[in-house]
A = this chain, B = another copy of it.
Amino acid sequence: MLGAIRARPNFVKPVLVRLYHKPARNTEFKKLTASDIDFFKRVLPAETILATPAVGGTSDPVELEGFNADWLNKYRGDSQLVLRPKTTTEVSQILKYCNEQKIAVVPQGGNTGLVGGSVPVHDEVVLSLRNMNKVRGFDDISGIVTCDAGCVLEELDNYVADKGYTMPLDLGAKGSCQIGGNVATNAGGIRFLRYGTLHGSVLGLEVVLPDGTVLDNLNTLRKDNTGYDLKQLFIGSEGSLGVITGVSITTPQRPSAVNVAVLGVPSYKAVQDAFRLARRRCGEVLSAFEFWDSSCMGAVLHHQQLKSPLSAEFPFYVLVETSGSNKDHDDEKLGALLEELMENGTVEDGALAQDEQQIRRMWMMREGIPESLGKTGATYKYDISIPIPVLYDIVGDIANKLETASLFKSAGASDPVKIVCGYGHIGDGNLHLNVVADKFQDRVTEVFEPYVYEWVSSHRGSISAEHGVGLMKRDYLGYSKPKEMIDYMRRIKSMFDPNGILNPYKVL
């Protein structure tokens, strides 16, 4: 659990946290009593229960702190009971009881989510999967791993690395996040361009439904066309339909060669041209194509003690990565791409990492952006998908609106808004739009919210590309989904969870 501690640098002293609307407690949910705690003591080992004196237990409320607050310390609940079962049977017993008693439950993995989906809103019981952390099996020929939902992503990646494979997803929180949580939130991350969505790589799930039913769909088959693929419903359901207890997932061959280059690019049009050529020239070895603008670069160079590897400043920067099975071949492919991009003027400068350390520094330039913006001021963050051709237009539009309202670039240093910028995974059409202000305030927010969501909606984009809905975006779902689809989502929720005990107040 060291990873979990490392991943929460701001845990003790949160800064500049934006307030969120907390829905009222649903009074139909039962409040815990000592007799409930007695039940859990009968079905679970004592060391897996954390109950405060408020519900008849003996745990210090401080022990529950890390389960009640998310890692940015933005969302915070008031749970008095944390259960950490070790087996699927225990999970089934817990849910069956809670369903009968109408006790609300929030399933929790590594608690690294960004939309308030993994912490209680009020007094929900926290059902932590962290004690279910065993690999159940590995097929060395096909590269399929089957494991408990509470396995930490990085530990799984190390496990399969020993056998020559790699997990098909990777993200900043890998040291803490759990595979069950990754699946429940349909996590994206930086390997998405290469290995695609979890809807493709997850082969089987074991899921416990609110009534205690164990849906055993934990198969390890790449192909299975025997009716509706129910497991897909749980991928991205954010724990609101059932609790994932087991996962089987296909893992690709681990690449033996990795190359990284950073490019200086004169326009967003050129970023797109570079991406198209990179797909053509590097095709099967292209593993990342990330971009950021000059405002992001300014912040990251200022705050991360990094030096740009390029000779000058550019409107846009691109990080291109190849991963393959033959270093010489990949060098040649990437070298030819860079030469062509420079020759035809798509790219104005480029630097190729010469060793592991340079690779790490180049990635830090991209991955250090969120933290650097956070150090600059109060950051409004939007994780959106938009068709690539118009992806960056929204950044200019928002900047213009703020300028027109005299909040940005008008009177210089006294403007409340400091930076309007964008970065993201261009290959996936995923933009992280950020507005940095001196503090969170209504007159700034009103200029671009709900305008951002309207803009995304009018381009048939998604208001949540990879972070999910959680509590944060529940009220905005209509911008991404037509009414008919939301209606069917509700019907599916009622079908699996008629009492609504699972992760209430979230998603829908």
Contact = CB atoms under 8 A, between A and B. Distances in A.
A198 to B, nearest CB: 9
Contacts of A223: 188, 192, 197, 385, 425, 428-430, 462, 465-466
B224 A464 contact: yes
B387 A279 contact: no
Given A222-B430, A224-B480, A225-B465, A485 B217 contact: yes
A283 B495 contact: no
A344 B140 CA distance: 19
A64 interface: no
A442 interface: no
A433 to B, nearest CB: 14
Contact of A228 (B215, B237, B464): B237
B233 A233 contact: yes
Nearest to A461: B221
When all copies of this chain in the complex are counted, the total is: 2
A196 interface: yes
B389 A141 contact: yes
Contacts of A329: 326, 329, 332-333
A492 B488 CA distance: 11
A484 B488 CA distance: 21
Contacts of A276: 140-141
Interface in A203-231: 213-217, 219-230
B481 A227 contact: yes
A73 interface: no
A76 B207 CA distance: 40
Given A142-B388, A214-B484, A227-B481, 4 more contacts: A141-B389, A196-B200, A223-B429, A225-B466
